[in-house]
Amino acid sequence: MANIPSDLTYSKDHEWVRSLPDGRLRIGITDHAQKQLGDIVYVELPKQGDRFEHGEPFGSVESVKSVSEIYVPQNGTISAVNDGLNDAPEQVNEDPYGDGWMIEITPVPGGDQGSLLTAAEYEDYIKAPE
């Protein structure tokens, strides 16, 4: 059973989103996604200041099984990158909602918010047959 914190929102691409007090959004991949990927050996992330549109890939995660793109769930500009993942990509496996976070974005006012799911909706989504 995947860990799905109720204080976060989720994308159908298996990213989680945490709203920060200053209006920025912290983003990473879900516990479900990291379990599906297996042992993560490399994380490629964008540079601070890069701008992305909702649904665009902002990086990738390489595991012993495969390489998967990670998508930005909302229009915005990269305001912080978790550089600690360069030396310790396994943090995504060990603590996906804590030290395994990937980026922070400053949302574009009036930009595409995407359609994020509540924890209950995401749980139903990952349980649904494909």
Interior/surface letters 49-85, b for 16+ CB within 10 angstroms, e for the rest = ebebebeeebbebebeeeebebbbbbbbebbebbeeb
Q: What's this model's pTM, rounded to 2 decimal places?
A: 0.92
In this structure, is residue 117 part of a structural domain? no
Contact 105, 98 (CB under 8 A): no
In this structure, is residue 1 part of a structural domain? no
- The whole domain housing 22 covers 9-109
| Cα distance between residue 45 and residue 85, in whole Å | 9
* pLDDT per position as a tens digit, 36-89: 999 999 999 999 999 999 899 999 999 998 999 999 998 999 999 999 999 999
Q: Give phi and psi for 33, each to the nearest 5.
A: -65, -45
Domain count, the chain: 1
| Cα distance between residue 59 and residue 65, in whole Å | 17
**In CATH, what number is assigned to the domain containing residue 40?**
2.40.50.100
* pLDDT per position as a tens digit, 85-127: 999 999 999 999 999 999 999 998 776 566 899 999 999 999 9
